[in-house]
Amino acid sequence: AAAALGDYPFNAIAPCVAFLGDFPDYFGIVQWPGNTAKSNKGDMTDEEMYAFLSYFDTKNLATRIPSTTGVIACSGLQDGTCPPHTNIAPFNNLSTTDKQYYYYPEMQHTIPSDWDGLITAFFKAHMK
């Protein structure tokens, strides 16, 4: 969100297990936070709720990240909290071609043990 909304130009970002992406699909896959949002939406229809949430949807924010920003991202394919589909949706909407995605077939909702090394090398390569 900071790379999309801030005035500071980021050279590179490293989202791992991106959260709150592609709300309609996300809420259909997992119960939380969808059940909480739906039970607190007041008199909004689902369509109105999703329109409101679209302002915070990382899938939409990704389109605002400059094409000059390098991106390295990852997710676990067994993540039941932030399913892979909702992590990949923002990544697919990035305009940059300088992007890498790491899939961890057995990983659940956590950060992989090799992530620090990967992002350190990535950031070093993108320092100006």
CATH for 41: 3.40.50.1820
**67 is in which domain, residue-wise?**
2-126
Residue at token pair 């990535």: 122
Query: What mean pLDDT value characterizes the chain?
Result: 92
User: How many separate domains does the chain show?
Assistant: 1
Task: Please report which confidence band the pLDDT of residue 24 belongs to, taking 50, 70 and 90 as the band edges.
Answer: confident
**Does the pTM exceed 0.95?**
no
Region 9-36: mean pLDDT is 87
Whole-number pLDDT of residue 85:
86
